C-alpha cells in the first residue's frame, strides 16, 4: 500500500478518507477480501455488496461489455449471506483498516433485520438501496432510529422524479445522498447469435460506466443546488478528468465501480495520481476546494449571448474534424487557413468541441 497523498485526503461525514474515491457496491466488493484489495489499492472507502435476507441467485451470464468503457449487467445483490457479512466479512475488512459503507436493501423488513447488525459489525456508514421509491422513506426512518451511523440514501435514475426523492430522503433524516444507481432496464443483442448479452429476464440488464456519466452529473449538480449534506457522486467515472468533473458538479466524494472492473484494481492508484496531478494543474489545493466549483457557472436560464471563435494555426494538425462535423457546411479549410461563413453558421459550437488540439476554441461574448 502506498502512502496516501495529502492532496487527496477527503473528509466524508467527518471520517478521514485516504482519497475521494469510494468503491461502489458491486463485483469487486464481493466479500471482505475484495474490500481489503480496494483499500490497499487506494480507495478512500469501500461499499459492501448489497446485504439482503436471501443471497442472490444470479443469471448466467450476468455481465458484458456494452460499448467503450460501458457495462451491461444483470447481477443482483450479494451472493453470500447477510450472516456472513456481519459475522466475518465486515469485521475482517475493518481489522485491515477499511472504511466500510454497509449497503442494505431493498425493503423496510430487510432494513429492520440488518441495519443494527451491520452497524455493530463495524460499518462506518450505512447506504440504503431500494428498487421501489416508495420503500426508501420508511427505510431511512428506521435506520435513523436503529443506529447512530450516518445514512446515505442511494437514488435511482429510473424513478419518476429523483430530485423530489432526494428532497424527501433528506426530510426523512438521510444524512447524505448517493447519486446514482445504474440505468435500466436496457438491452444489447449479439448480432452473430441474435441472443442478448446477459441472461437476465427478457435479456435485460442495467447500464453502468461511461455512457451514464452525463446523466449522473446532471443529477449531482441539481441535488447539490439544494442539498447541504454530503453527496457521493457515482456513475460513469472512468478517468481522473471524470472524477474532477464529478467533484466540480457538487460531489463530496466520487464513486467508482466499472473503471476498476474493466481496468483492474490497480487502476485506483492511477486514478488517484491523475486526480492529484489535475488538482495541481488546475490550481486547486485540495479535494474540498474543487467540490462544487462548477455550480456558480451553471446558468439559471438559457444562454443567448453569442460567443466568438478563436483559432491558433500553430496548434492545428489539419485533421479536418471541424469541417467534417459542420452540419451547415459553414466551415472550410485550405491547408491551415480557416474560413467561416457567418451567414450559414449557427454557432452550435460542435466544431470547437471536436478539435483534438484546442486549436479552435470559443471566447465568451
Where do the domains of the chain lie?
6-297, 308-363
pLDDT bucket at 4, cuts 50 / 70 / 90: confident
210 HSE (CA, 13 A, CB side): 12
CA proximity to 241, closest of 205, 281, 207, 206:
281
What is the fold, at CATH topology level, of the domain defined by 6-297?
TIM Barrel (3.20.20)
- Residue 21: is its pLDDT beyond 70? yes
Instruction: Render pLDDT for 263-273 as a digit per residue (tens, 0 to 9).
Output: 999 999 999 99
Supply 101's cell numbers.
Answer: 459503507
* pLDDT score recorded for residue 73: 96
Residues in the chain: 365
Average pLDDT along the chain: 96
Give the three-state DSSP class for 2.
Answer: coil
Count Cβ atoms below 10 Å from residue 110 Cβ, excluding itself: 23
Q: How confident is the model at residue 100 (pLDDT cuts 50, 70, 90)?
A: very high
If we measure between CA atoms, which residue out of 259, 252, 255, 263 comes closest to residue 230? 252
Q: 131 pLDDT band (50/70/90 cuts)?
A: confident
What is the tens place of the pLDDT at every residue in 301-330?
999 999 999 999 999 999 999 999 999 999
Q: How many angstroms separate the CA atoms of 190 and 193, rounded?
A: 6
User: So what's the pLDDT on residue 242?
Assistant: 98
* CA–CA gap between residue 51 and residue 117 (Å, rounded): 11
Predicted structure pTM score: 0.95
CATH number of 308-363: 3.30.70.20
* Within this chain, domains 6-297 and 308-363 share the same CATH topology: no
Distance separating alpha carbons of residues 166 and 170, to the nearest angstrom: 6
For 275-301, write each residue's pLDDT tens digit: 999 999 999 999 999 999 999 999 999
User: Is residue 164 predicted with pLDDT exceeding 90?
Assistant: yes
Give dist(CA 80, CA 354) in Å, integer. 46
C-alpha cell at position 200: 437476465
Q: What is the mean pLDDT of residues 204-224?
A: 97
Q: How far apart are CA 278 and CA 2, in angstroms?
A: 19
- Is the distance from CB of 124 to CB of 175 less than 8 angstroms? no
Whether the bond into 89 is cis, omega within 30 of 0: no
Portion of the chain with pLDDT greater than 90, in percent:
96
- The DSSP symbol for 71 reads E
Q: Is the model's pLDDT at 2 over the cut of 80?
A: no
Please give the pLDDT value at position 1.
62
Amino acid at each position: 500500500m502506498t502512502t496516501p497523498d495529502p492532496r487527496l485526503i477527503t473528509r466524508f461525514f467527518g471520517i478521514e478518507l485516504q482519497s475521494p474515491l469510494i468503491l461502489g457496491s458491486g463485483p469487486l466488493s464481493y466479500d471482505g477480501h475484495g474490500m481489503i484489495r480496494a483499500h490497499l489499492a487506494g480507495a478512500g472507502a469501500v461499499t459492501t455488496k448489497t446485504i439482503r435476507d436471501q443471497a442472490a441467485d444470479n443469471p448466467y451470464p450476468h455481465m458484458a461489455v456494452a460499448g467503450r468503457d460501458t457495462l451491461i449487467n444483470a447481477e443482483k445483490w450479494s451472493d453470500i449471506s447477510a450472516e456472513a457479512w456481519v459475522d466475518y466479512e465486515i469485521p475482517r475488512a475493518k481489522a485491515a483498516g477499511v472504511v466500510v459503507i454497509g449497503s442494505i436493501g431493498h425493503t423496510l423488513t430487510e432494513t429492520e433485520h440488518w441495519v443494527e447488525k451491520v452497524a455493530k459489525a463495524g460499518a462506518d456508514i450505512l447506504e440504503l438501496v431500494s428498487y421501489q421509491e416508495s420503500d426508501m422513506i420508511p427505510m431511512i426512518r428506521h435506520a435513523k432510529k436503529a443506529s447512530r451511523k450516518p445514512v446515505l440514501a442511494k437514488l435511482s435514475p429510473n424513478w419518476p422524479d429523483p430530485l423530489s426523492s432526494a428532497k424527501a430522503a433528506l426530510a426523512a433524516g438521510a444524512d447524505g445522498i448517493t447519486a446514482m444507481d445504474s440505468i435500466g432496464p436496457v438491452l444489447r443483442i449479439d448480432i452473430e447469435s441474435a441472443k442478448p448479452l446477459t441472461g437476465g429476464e427478457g435479456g435485460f440488464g442495467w447500464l453502468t460506466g461511461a455512457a451514464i456519466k452525463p446523466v449522473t452529473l446532471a443529477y449531482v449538480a441539481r441535488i447539490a443546488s439544494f442539498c447541504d449534506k454530503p453527496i457521493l457522486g457515482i456513475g460513469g467515472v472512468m478517468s481522473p478528468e471524470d472524477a474532477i468533473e464529478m467533484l466540480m458538479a457538487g460531489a463530496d466524494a466520487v464513486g467508482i465501480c466499472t473503471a476498476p472492473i474493466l481496468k483492474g484494481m490497480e487502476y485506483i492508484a492511477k486514478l488517484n495520481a491523475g486526480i492529484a496531478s489535475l488538482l495541481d494543474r488546475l490550481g486547486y489545493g485540495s479535494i474540498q476546494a474543487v467540490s462544487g466549483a462548477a455550480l456558480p457557472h451553471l446558468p439559471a436560464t438559457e444562454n443567448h449571448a453569442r460567443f466568438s471563435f478563436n483559432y491558433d494555426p500553430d496548434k492545428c494538425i489539419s485533421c479536418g474534424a471541424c469541417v467534417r462535423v459542420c452540419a451547415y457546411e459553414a466551415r472550410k479549410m485550405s491547408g491551415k487557413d480557416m474560413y467561416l461563413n457567418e451567414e450559414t453558421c449557427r454557432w452550435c459550437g460542435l466544431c470547437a468541441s471536436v478539435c483534438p488540439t484546442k486549436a479552435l476554441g470559443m471566447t465568451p461574448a
